[in-house]
Amino acid sequence: MKLALAGVGPWGRLLARKFQEAGAEIAAYARAGGPDVEGLGPRLTIDGLCDAPGIAGVILATPPDVTLRLARRAAESGLAVLATKPLQLGAAIDLRAPFVVDYVRLWSPFYAQLKARAAGHEVRRIRVVCCGPGPFRSFSSLDDYGPHALAFVHDLLGEHVPLVQVQATTVHPEERGGTMHVVRAVAGETWLDIEVGNAAVERCVRLEVEVADSTCPPKAALVE
């Protein structure tokens, strides 16, 4: 199988290596800037990637503002899509090939157990923290980390989560850190706390879950 890769950052290189180990060929790649990369086929433009000859699908390890456009173009071309960012769509995409988004949790035994507890209405509170020291980004970290956390919660609870409060603070690029967002919401019986951004001194990815026998704070404490 021949695939094309968009984005050669840490996630893009990891996915490329995993697919190559599984016997696939990365027949072409695209990146917005930086030097050429060996072992990934010829370098093409972002917009020309889906036209690479002989490819069966594309791997999208791109920023959120690029992912949706490329995913839509690939789907229209009949290519399979693996996107590392969840997509928020304003219109349906005509799918004629496999389309996988935000796939990491699908193979986690812990997640399967957690989802079973959620289905049994045992989960009372979820707190997700995803942040790191940078780099400073031109797009909002809520757009970067936030969709992963919201897609996770949506899949876990089986319903869309209305956002009732969003707080954001921003520092300048020359200062250490970046942007930090706090999202608080209530989904049915479950309280939700999401903290995303790049304003932490050290990288942090943490998930905390309270179940039915735990003490939950009053609802007002999360939405006031």
Render pLDDT for 27-41 as a digit per residue (tens, 0 to 9). Answer: 999 998 889 999 999
Provide block-wise average pLDDT over 10 residues at a time, the chain (224 residues).
94 90 95 91 93 95 83 92 76 81 68 79 79 59 65 69 55 58 73 71 69 49 32
The reported pLDDT for the residue numbered 45 is 94
Query: What is the pairing mode between strands 57-60 and 2-6?
Result: parallel
The reported pLDDT for the residue numbered 112 is 78
CA 84 to CA 151: how far, in whole Å? 12
Structure-token pair, residue 15: 């996915």
Burial class of residue 67 in the structure, from the number of CB atoms within 10 Å of its CB (0-12 exposed, 13-18 middle, 19+ buried) = buried
The DSSP code for 216 is: P
The reported pLDDT for the residue numbered 33 is 86
pLDDT one-digit tens code per residue, 31-76? 988 899 999 999 999 989 999 999 999 999 987 778 888 999 999 9
The DSSP code for 38 is: T
* Pair 147, 63: CB distance under 8 Å: no
The reported pLDDT for the residue numbered 43 is 96
- How many separate helices (H) and strands (E) can be counted in the chain? 6, 10
Grouping H, G, I as helix, E, B as strand and the rest as coil, residue 17 is helix
The reported pLDDT for the residue numbered 115 is 80
The reported pLDDT for the residue numbered 217 is 45
- Among residues 118, 122, 125, 117, the alpha carbon closest in space to that of 221 is found at 125
- Among residues 146, 139, 131, the alpha carbon closest in space to that of 85 is found at 146
Q: Which helix (H) or strand (E) holds 179?
A: strand 179-187
The reported pLDDT for the residue numbered 222 is 35
CA 18 to CA 35: how far, in whole Å? 22
Look at the block and give the residue holding tokens 């990146």.
Answer: 31
First vs last Cα of the chain: how many Å apart? 52
* Pair 71, 81: CB distance under 8 Å: yes
The reported pLDDT for the residue numbered 144 is 62
Q: Which helix (H) or strand (E) holds 70?
A: helix 64-76
Residue 86, CA distances (Å) to 32, 124, 155, 170, 218 in order: 20, 24, 11, 24, 31
The reported pLDDT for the residue numbered 51 is 93
Look at the block and give the residue holding tokens 């903290």.
Answer: 195
